[in-house]
Amino acid sequence: MLSETDLATCIRRACELEVMAPKPGNVNPQSDGHDMLIDDFLRSAAAIAPVMARPEFTVGERILAGVQATRKVVNCNTNLGIILLFAPIIQAVYQSRHFLDIRPMLRHVLATLTVYDAELSYQAIQLAEAGGLGKQVDQDISRKPTITLLAAMKLAENRDTIARQYTNNFNEVWEIAFKQLTKALNCGEKVEWAAAFAYLNVLARVPDTLISRKYSRRLAQSTSEQAQRFIAKMTQIASIHSLQDEFHDWDQQLKRQAINPGTTADMIAAALLLHQLSETADANRISVAQCI
């Protein structure tokens, strides 16, 4: 469907657009935060794009290579969730002829994940030094897994939204994040603001599990309720831009309290990857048609 070069460009661009979106609580152009700088995310995007686009990798190899590339350029966890979400999508792209093939092919990719994929993914998570994972009785991240990556994600699906994407064929990515991103783009929003709109919609409907793990489900739910209030205001005024000042105030409040809806941001990155894939596939078809 796409060349390795095109795919690498889509990966990098999706990551760049995610961090450039004015998403409250996340690192963005208006405000760094959580001991991370926007440049950390941009360097991470450039680092993972070529290695994650390698056509010969398995999902597990893709995940580990992405984290290894990231650790060479930054000393913090900027993108583990993004890498975990991107890897199966990229695998599906290489097995698809058209953009519309990706979703059904993704189901096949997830169903055929192996123990080897799990082993490499566990290594990647350990290398990324992800916080807030806690200790688990079965298949803890500190030990070598004995089950497939899909089975491991099944064990975590109730406490981690990214794990749940593996078990439900990325349902919230497709049905909320990508749909809301596309809706905003079709209404004429610039992609960064469309991403912020999608972010609010995901956060409003899916309490952020990074917040849940780090603090509590109650705080995650109250953060979602705040996102719901923003959406209600947007419904009344039909514009996200007029809420810029309120966005900034909420962003600063979240950062003062060290609250980072990071899992939600990862979901938006995945939606942006799908958008980039769709746009690039369409452009390639037009170019081919013009040459015929």
- HEC string of 32-49 equals CECCECHHHHHHHHHHHH
Q: CA angle at residue 266 from 264 to 270, to 5 degrees?
A: 115
Residue 70 is given by DSSP the state H
Residue 280: domain span? 4-291
Tell whether the model's pLDDT for residue 157 goes beyond 90: yes
Q: What is the CATH number of the domain that holds 74?
A: 1.10.4200.10
- Give the model's pLDDT for residue 289: 38
Mean pLDDT of 79-103: 97
Cα separation, 132 vs 211, in Å, equals 9
How many domains does the chain contain in total?
1
Phi, psi of 87 (to 5 degrees): -55, -50
Residue 35 has pLDDT above 80, yes or no: no
Residue 240 pLDDT exceeds 80: no
Give 136's pLDDT tier (boundaries 50, 70, 90): low
pTM over the 0.75 mark: yes
Question: Number of helices (H) and strands (E), helices first, in the chain?
Answer: 15, 0
Per-residue pLDDT for 161 more than 60? Answer: yes
